[in-house]
Structure 1
Amino acid sequence: MAGTVVFDLDGTLADTSGDLVAAANACFRARGLGDLLDPVVDALIAFHGGRAMLRAGYGRMPSDRLLPPGAEDEDFDRLLGHYGDAIAVHTRLYPGVEAALDRLAADGHLLAVCTNKPEALAETLLRELGIRDRFGAMIGADTLPVRKPDPRPYRAAVEAAGGQVGQSFLVGDTETDRKTAAAAGVRVALVAFGPEGEALSRLAPEVMLAHFDELPGIARDWLG
């Protein structure tokens, strides 16, 4: 049985922060607040999701401005719309992603994506980036009734790709991914090139991945 490598998407396969922040700023501008988030300084906030970005921006509003009731829910829907309309303007794959995916496939490994991005947006982004066909399965935030760090989306991704959970591992970039792997009883490689960088070592993953060039070797060690 081939082993399975499961990837998170945002902050792991691709730096999506620029387009996420742009979508949030479009919501702030619509309220006459201007661009409240910086695409570089606030990249880490972007990887915590749309509501995290909105709340961070609201916290920077002038003290004399008040939001109407329900503003966050309204803006969250708008954010998703803005993001879907411009999902791959600034987004780029991290260096070495495509070569690593090719090598993993050549070595016989199955590949899957398990993300907390809504499924439709994740599917669109993977297609825009030209890598959707590399993955045998894609599980998004709303594919199941639960999302990471619940282990069920991870298990579903492995099984849909044709693999077995006991012969798999996760590649991610957040504490959520670390918790997901622990809940699923598998190893995790956390990337050292995302917004948190080497600081993620505090989560004690089995491996800190410095570059995607290292991933095929890790897969051989862990999966055979």
Structure 2
Amino acid sequence: MQQSIWQGIKLVFIKELTAGLRFKAAWAAMFMFALTTLACVSMALQGGVVEPRLLAALLWVCLFFAAMAGADRVFADEDTAGTLLTLRIFGPSQAVLLGKMLYTLFLLVLLAMFITPLFLLLMDVTVAAPLVLLGTVLLGCTGIAAAGTLIAALTTGASVHSGLFSILMLPVILPVFLPAISLTAGAFGSGGITGLYLGGMALYDLILLVGASILFDYLWYED
């Protein structure tokens, strides 16, 4: 049984990756939004000196809203194509959830790998604690992927899907967003780095994963 779940996760992930590579609309929306936001921020600041906490907030605003530009499509595209019912019939709920969550995390990590170096270059930021920054970005992406996958399933079929998705995502992800800004500011040299923030982010990510796993069964098999 455990083997079949892992096989299901792998199949769902491969399906999502294949569809993403074939139809690159979500990828293009995320990366173009990120690039546009970074260009606007860079031109607005015009090389001025900015304190680390504001730089950290700008980085996470870019990451969060770029993720919102594509992460909400994880179920919406199948709903539009009419294949969601087939997936619901033949796909085990946990395999579908974790496969799509893994794909979303993969996409967000690629996005972070694209945004973060460009941001550091354009803002002329020196990273004092690169491992802290790396851990913060990974934990932040994990939280966004877990919350985003569940809320994307919840808002599938809504007439104002994108707007509703963003409204529901922000309060859910704030417990990840706020410590991420503090940790990133510390990594940029403001000091005050504490392991409690990293532990808190990891714990909240775990809560999101467990909560999504429990709630998704009710969403997936509801009449």
The structure in which a higher percent of residues are helix is: 2
Q: With structure 2 as the length reference, what TM-score do the two structures score?
A: 0.30
The structure in which a higher percent of residues are strand is: 1
Q: With structure 1 as the length reference, what TM-score do the two structures score?
A: 0.30
